[in-house]
């Protein structure tokens, strides 16, 4: 198989990204897959395209049933990655032996180039009773950019998200409800400020099976905490072009990361 050129460092200064704030219908994978297909049709000339957490099923504890749709959803991500010549990222339910994971897939040129199992399981909803937690951080190099992969609840844990690897972009895919949306907004900005990195937060839109509302608030934050793009109260796509030269200049002028604490992850 030929080597995927998208993974080769090319020292690109610009990275074009799109976040799909998908209107998810809980426990209706066919509808969600069709909606995602339609939204993808309108996205062009992007390097990275994000989908929300568990975008095919919605954030559900019925893993024993909805894991069966992961194969078709992942196949769609593989297809989109070739059609759009882009890195497609989103999480799905993965059954492995007798265990379930909330697994984020990064797909390029029709191939899964990286996967990350959610470390912090949301016990408030019972996620820790139905899924197993991942144990490892995941970073990937893509087109000369270093990307940190995370899922939803991970956002609340600054030690886990700490930029000890000099990543350029931290990605979060989520199903984050309106009841706690102010925390989502604040934490995305905080993670960008403390880590001097771009932060992308891709949330969903809709109403879940328990009547919780999701108005989105998908957002892109700069390395200085500035909100660069934002979407709420509807399904849609936000776009932005990240600038690595500007990121590097900012870090050189304000080298706060040199003074970061040496956290120890247990």
164 within 8 A of 260, measured Cβ to Cβ:
yes
The DSSP symbol for 132 reads P
Alpha-carbon distance of 248 to 25, in angstroms, equals 40
Token pair in block for residue 62: 């019925």
Alpha-carbon distance of 77 to 107, in angstroms, equals 7
Token pair in block for residue 216: 């989105």
CA dihedral sign, ordered 176, 181, 185, 187? negative
Alpha-carbon distance of 155 to 171, in angstroms, equals 10
Residues serving a catalytic function are 53, 118, 152
Contacts of 70 (CB under 8 A, 6+ apart): 56, 92, 93, 94, 95
CB-hemisphere CA count at 13 Å for 102? 31
């Amino acid at each position: 198989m030929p080597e995927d050129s998208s993974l080769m460092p090319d020292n690109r200064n610009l990275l074009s990204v799109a976040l799909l704030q998908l209107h998810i219908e809980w426990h209706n994978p066919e509808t969600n897959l069709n909606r995602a297909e339609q939204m993808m049709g309108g996205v062009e000339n992007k390097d990275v395209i994000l989908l929300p957490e568990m975008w095919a099923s919605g954030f559900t504890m019925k893993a024993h049933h909805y894991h069966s749709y992961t194969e078709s959803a992942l196949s769609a991500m593989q297809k989109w990655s070739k059609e759009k010549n882009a890195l497609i990222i989103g999480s799905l339910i993965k059954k492995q032996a007798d265990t379930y994971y909330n697994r984020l897939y990064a797909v390029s040129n029709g191939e899964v180039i990286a996967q990350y199992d959610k470390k912090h399981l949301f016990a408030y909803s019972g996620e820790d009773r139905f899924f197993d937690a991942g144990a490892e951080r995941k970073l990937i190099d893509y087109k000369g950019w270093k990307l940190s992969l995370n899922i939803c609840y991970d956002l609340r844990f600054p030690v886990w998200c700490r930029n000890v690897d000099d990543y350029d972009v931290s990605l979060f895919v989520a199903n984050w409800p309106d009841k706690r949306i102010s925390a989502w907004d604040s934490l995305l900005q905080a993670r960008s400020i403390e880590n001097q990195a771009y932060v992308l937060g891709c949330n969903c839109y809709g109403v879940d099976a328990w009547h919780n509302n999701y108005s989105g608030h998908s957002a892109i934050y700069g390395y200085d905490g500035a909100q660069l793009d934002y979407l709420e109260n509807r399904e849609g796509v936000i776009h932005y072009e990240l600038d690595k030269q500007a990121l590097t200049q900012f870090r050189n002028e304000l080298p706060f990361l040199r003074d970061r604490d040496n956290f120890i992850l247990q």
